[in-house]
Amino acid sequence: MIKKNIKGITLIEILIGIVITSIIMGAMLTSYNVVNGSYAQVIDKASIGNSTRAFSEMLLRDIRMAGYKYFDDNLITETAGEMDAPIVINKETTGRCCDTLTTVYGDFDRNLVGDERYIRYKLIYSFEPNPDENGVFQIFKSKLKWDGADWGSSAEDRDTYSNEIITDYVSDIEIVAKDNLGNVIDPPPSLDNINRDKLYSIYTVEIFLTYRSKKEFYNSKKERTIVSLYNTERNIEGDDKFLRESIILSAFTRNLEAFR
């Protein structure tokens, strides 16, 4: 009888293989989590950038349009017996977000004749706390049309809308009016405050806009402060893990004089 040596795997070798495999799988899982976390951060930061850019362009366009009207347009809109102001900034006085903005401008319908060709729109930016998160806000926009007696919107009129959400996860919007010398007009002119005589003297509007990430961005909490433009009571302070990014915008109000 011929004897053969039959070689096999011992229990110790199996255990060593399991340990090595577990180490490799753990390393792969850790690498995946790191890459996935970095990817999520990049996406979140890009989302903030896209939201900031789109909202900024909208705000700048609307501020530049404030007071615009065609040469022969003599349409007058009045609210509570006062001619509507081309731009009104309402400062938030309770300490935090957000300042609101109202602008009025004219348009033209070439399909109509006579004075009926001229149209007047009012844009209103407002805000509400985000129902999903504390400490951030949603920004709404309304586009209303003057009907000869009042401002309004309707589902039949595709050019108007009311309280449509424009952007969310906003930490603060600070809006500042300045004259032609660069001096801050405080309070911003309106029809019922001490600076109403400067209503058509707003030369530029500065906007300090701060967004916050939807998800926690940093691995650990850090003390962070975002300093307000002109009001230290509106500094954003905290030790959370969220990413916040701020930009400063400046828009020229080039049409106000024509609206008188």
pLDDT tens string 45-102:
777 778 888 899 999 999 999 999 988 888 889 887 788 999 999 998 776 789 999 9
Interatomic CA distance for residues 105 and 68, integer angstroms: 5
Structure tokens at 145: 């049309």
User: What pLDDT, on the 0 to 100 scale, is given for residue 62?
Assistant: 95
Using 50, 70 and 90 to split pLDDT, how confident is the model at 116?
A: confident
Q: What is the DSSP string of 11-23?
A: HHHHHHHHHHHHH
| pLDDT surpassing 90 at residue 205 | yes
| pLDDT surpassing 60 at residue 112 | yes
User: What pLDDT, on the 0 to 100 scale, is given for residue 31?
Assistant: 66
Structure tokens at 163: 């309280």
Using 50, 70 and 90 to split pLDDT, how confident is the model at 41?
A: low
User: What pLDDT, on the 0 to 100 scale, is given for residue 152?
Assistant: 94
Beta strands per DSSP E along the chain:
78-79, 82-83, 87-90, 100-108, 118-129, 137-146, 151-152, 161-178, 204-212, 224-226, 236-238, 244-252
Among the ranges 93-97, 158-162, 229-233, 236-240, which has the highest mean pLDDT value? 158-162
User: What pLDDT, on the 0 to 100 scale, is given for residue 95?
Assistant: 64
Asked if residue 196 lies in contact with residue 190, where contact means CB atoms within 8 angstroms, the answer is: yes
- Each domain of the chain, given as residue ranges in start order, spans 37-259
Q: Is 109 exposed, middle or buried (0-12, 13-18, 19+ CB in 10 A)?
A: exposed
User: What pLDDT, on the 0 to 100 scale, is given for residue 8?
Assistant: 59
Whole-prediction pTM: 0.82
Residues 6+ apart with CB under 8 A from 92: 98, 99, 100, 234
Q: How far is CA 50 from the centre of its chain?
A: 10
Supply the mean pLDDT for the chain. Answer: 85
